[in-house]
Amino acid sequence: MPIIITCVPKKGVHPPHMYLNSNERRISHITRSQFTLSLCQCVYIYIKSFSAHTVSVASIGKGYRLISIEEVDGGILGHLQVKEKNNIYGPDIPLLQLYVKHETEDRLRVHITDAQKQRWEVPYNLLPREQPPKLKQTIGRTRKNPIAVSEYSSNGLIFSYSADPFSFAVKRKSNGETLFNTSSDESDPFGPMVFKDQYLEISTKLPKDASLYGLGENTQPHGIKLYPNDPYTLYTTDVSAINLNTDLYGSHPVYMDLRNVNGEGAAHGVLLLSSNGMDVFYTGTSLTYKIIGGVFDFYFFAGPSPLAVVDQYTAFIGRPAPMPYWSLGFHQCRWGYHNLSVVEDVVENYKKAKIPLDVIWNDDDHMDGHKDFTLNPTNYPRPKLLAFLEKIHKIGMKYIVIIDPGIGVNSSYGVYQRGIANDVFIKYEGEPYLAQVWPGAVNFPDFLNPKTVSWWGDEIRRFHELVPVDGLWIDMNEASNFCSGLCKIPKGKQCPTGTGPGWVCCLDCKNITKTRWDDPPYKINASGLQVPIGFKTIATSAYHYNGVLEYDAHSIYGFSQSIATHKALLGLEGKRPFILSRSTFVGSGHYAAHWTGDNKGTWEDLKYSISTMLNFGIFGVPMVGSDICGFYPAPTEELCNRWIEVGAFYPFSRDHANYYSPRQELYQWESVAESARNALGMRYKLLPFLYTLNYEAHLSGAPIARPLFFSFPNYVECYNVSTQFLLGSSLMVSPVLEQGKSQVKALFPPGSWYNVFDMTQAISSKDGKFVTLDAPLHVVNVHLYQNTILPMQQGGLISKEARMTPFSLVVTFPAGASGVQAKGKLYLDEDELPEMKLGNGYSTYVDFFATTGNGTVKIWSEVQEGKFALSKGWIIDSVTVLGLGGSGKASTLEINGSPTNANSKIEFNASEQST
């Protein structure tokens, strides 16, 4: 039976159906000019002919035995010997080194590598961390500090092991619960640990009621929880986000495990720090890693709250980057703003429609021939562009442009000339590796090379002198290649031709299968179809600085580019950088924001966007959002209404559309403009709250957008809620995600919740419940939880204006309660300073408190570094108190210990209650 593939191209061209015979082994056998998986977004129905090398568990290996163990450097060091060799997926590595250390009370590391030869690991200069002990050249000799016990404990976690066959377990110290267990018996669907040069396998048992989250980047159709037997492949790939259960742009081999025992929720995190491609098989009762290289480098984070897990995780991988205030405003972009006058019209039309807008973007339309760091002299003449930027900068708006990593091979192109002169490109057989992206033939910079980082910084500096951009958008950095294999520039024909789709390969290419790096023994489920791992990217036998193989370094390409770009921007004007990166890895959030890539203007994609956003918060990338209204094809008017009502509450809020799609700026439909004014109007009032969440994220990794279980870990009903989300700990968004609906069924965890659009409306319940909410077309339901003090401002059309308006406080108490306390916080600073911290004279931090009891509401604050806020003239203009019983009136209100006067703007609401 043939495989039928329906291909919807990324850039709008519709080729016919294409067929593969069921006995085809590789998708690269299709004519490349007909099919480009990385740029054709395929919805496919097929009989799976790409078998995953079904090899019986028992035949792969019998595991290892522990032959020595000792205390060393604050940890334990052991050696493992293979029990029985075989050659399935290659020969076993005979001797392994085991290193275990409690790096903090809440973080445990388990590192296993070849005992005799250095292996590839994520570079320690890119992701700084402790080095394991150097490899021992003599194995099995008598140790000075031998260990007899089989447990190794901290205050948070216990590591235990069995010697023959070797296995290990990680337990929670407080209750002895097993969190990770690699032992196996005949009843398990997995076997003992396997460690070969290009195939590593290890598994853990799991309880049936464990809820797992993470292992991305992928689009998960079943919601945020990992779903048994769905494929989870980690390998950075330019495959559109419309492809479900497929390895996408980022690689984050980390998961959070949330369990509820006797009504108490407890979470922990597990990171396998590896940049090598891997399949992860989750059955519901076990999880198996199959990795095609590198080492086992596990980190366990004890939690026990979901927030504590992310705190411990980001303390290790790097805290999220501080974002400038303006970046939390609304952004507008489109691929296809053909000239500057179109961009000017967009800005003017947003102003006319009274829809907030902070940042205008250019895709590659501003470039000369799609070449990085250039301007099209006809469509974006520099004098006119500079005049436009001066105009928008004066009112506080910002401008961001795209750059791709591929540098056009063009002898008259200064960026390329300087790149060749500085020897900055990835190599293949001694020459810069040739690929094709938008400019045509390109070479890829090697960001593992220090010289490349310097050259890249210099090119960004030169470009910034040409165009004073306010941030950079780094795209196509998986890296994406329109061709596969070893290519040459064709003689006698133009490439690209300038007509037809620009993503069709026009180089002369041949497949590379001669090395084990291009054709590894185990085939991961790359692109969801087990295509060769070099398909539509850099050949995996190409090499980086110091001989590092692309095979190993592939998934850190975008990460290394983010680091180099961040360094460059920081060095320009000493301002806080803003970088948006498509490809991400463990630690990318320390440098960049992320959007979820090429999505579709469909109701399904609107729904998927929430799960992906919430996952990235867990990954330590809190500044995240999806293309509002969808990247392609055209959204319906109703969908765009509903999408802005969700997207207005993404941490990163941007409308972006495809070159071939009709225009979809929010003012294009009056109904969408109304929804935008409503939803974005609330966002701009909430900017001080969002900016304070940005500060919290930078300090502790706390996601800006969070699943409900982050605030309610004991409430099992919210463990799989993927259609609602929290901003911070207390602001809940419950959007309409289905066509034709004017109501939404939303889960309300126990307590009192107040509608922020109409504060007289509230919902309360003792045990939590689902409530059907009215949601006409222009209405989005956003509720504020009890015991909260929410700082707001009056809003505006630009964040610079909005942040100078007076503040108000909304204080929420449990409905009718007395003797309770509410809390809130507010962080303010000079937002373009590179560091986000107190003590520099340009920041203020306020803790707010309120209590109610005996007919009195007391509100007070504790201020750190108050001088900055005073210098700005910021004042609290009004206070709204929600949740008081009776008539809703208190006989006395005290602010900072003093009774208020009769003219104060104090509002008490006895909200309508639903019980």
Spell 735-773 as b/e; 16+ CB within 10 A means b: bbbeeeeeebebbbbebbbbbbeebebbbbbeeebebeb
For 79-128, the DSSP string reads EEEESS---TTSPBPSEEEEEEEEEETTEEEEEEEESSS----S-TTTS-
Sort 185 into a burial class: Cβ within 10 Å, 0-12 / 13-18 / 19+.
Answer: exposed
Contacts of 539 (CB under 8 A, 6+ apart): 428, 433, 484, 485, 486, 512, 518, 550
Residue 347: phi and psi, rounded to 5, are -60, -45
| Residue 827 near residue 695, CB atoms below 8 Å | yes
Q: How far apart are CA 407 and CA 410, in angstroms?
A: 9
Q: Say how far residue 293 (Cα) sits from the centre of its chain.
A: 24
Q: How far apart are CA 400 and CA 244, in angstroms?
A: 30
Distances (CA, A) of 380 to 205, 365, 467: 59, 8, 11
Spell 373-402 as b/e; 16+ CB within 10 A means b: bbbbeebbeeeebeebbeebeeebbbbbbb
| Residue 318 near residue 587, CB atoms below 8 Å | yes
- Supply 236's token pair: 């950075």
Residue 675: phi and psi, rounded to 5, are -65, -40
Residue 571: phi and psi, rounded to 5, are -80, -5
Q: How far apart are CA 275 and CA 278, in angstroms?
A: 9
Residue 69, phi-psi category: left (phi > 0), alpha (psi -120 to 50), beta (remainder) = beta
Sort 1 into a burial class: Cβ within 10 Å, 0-12 / 13-18 / 19+.
Answer: exposed
- Report which of 727, 732, 737, 761 is spatially closest to residue 749, judged by C-alpha positions: 732
- Which amino acid appears at position 104 of this protein? T
Q: How far apart are CA 37 and CA 247, in angstroms?
A: 13
- Report which of 307, 198, 334, 249 is spatially closest to residue 729, judged by C-alpha positions: 307
| Residue 108 near residue 159, CB atoms below 8 Å | yes
- Report which of 339, 228, 320 is spatially closest to residue 282, judged by C-alpha positions: 228
Q: How far apart are CA 513 and CA 692, in angstroms?
A: 52
- Which amino acid appears at position 125 of this protein? N
Residue with tokens 């509903």: 642
The full length of the chain comes to 915
* DSSP single-letter state for residue 415: H
Catalytic residue ranges: 475, 478, 598
| Residue 631 near residue 361, CB atoms below 8 Å | no
| Residue 538 near residue 550, CB atoms below 8 Å | yes
Distances (CA, A) of 98 to 66, 239, 575: 9, 37, 44
| Residue 629 near residue 603, CB atoms below 8 Å | no
Does an H or E element contain 348, and which? helix 340-352
Q: How far apart are CA 666 and CA 641, in angstroms?
A: 9
